[in-house]
Amino acid sequence: MSHREQTSYVLDILQLSQKFDIIATRDDVSNGKPDPEIYQLIAMKLKSEHENCLVIEDSPAGIEAVLSAGMHCIAVTNELTRDQVHASGLLNSHQIIDHLPSLLETVKSFIS
C-alpha cells in the first residue's frame, strides 16, 4: 500500500519496473488494506476472475484484503510480521512462508 512515488523509486532501484504488467498503488484506490479494493482493481485490470488470482502478502491486513477479495494467498513473513501472521489464524501453515527460498515450491503447489 505504498504510494506511487515510493513504489516507483524501489522498483527502479531493483530494476523491476518493466517486469510487471500492472502496478497498483495506494494512490489508485480510495481505501487501504484490509479493504480489498486494491486487489479488486488489479483483477479487473488483468481481466481475471478473483478465484484465479494468487497473491503474495506479508501482513495480516494484506492477507485479510486478499481473502476478502476472494483470492488465494501465500504469506511471506519477515521479522516484523512473522508472529502477527502466524497468530492471525487467517491462513493454514502451508500458506505461510517464513524462509523465502521455499516460496517457489509453495507457489507451484497452488498452481498445479
H or E stretch including 53? none
Comparing 69 with 1, which gets the higher pLDDT?
A: 69
Q: For the residues 22-37, what does the mean pLDDT come to?
A: 97
Helix, strand, or coil (residue 97)? strand
- What confidence tens digit (pLDDT) does each residue in 36-93 have? 999 999 999 999 999 999 999 999 999 999 999 999 999 999 999 999 999 999 999 9
CA-to-CA separations, 26 to 71, 88, 103, 105, in angstroms, rounded: 19, 24, 25, 30
- What confidence tens digit (pLDDT) does each residue in 89-106 have? 999 999 999 999 999 999
- Model pTM score: 0.91
Query: Under a CB-based contact definition with an 8 Å cutoff, are residues 95 and 76 in contact?
Result: no
Give the model's pLDDT for residue 99: 93
Does the domain at residues 4-111 carry the CATH identifier 3.10.580.10?
Answer: no
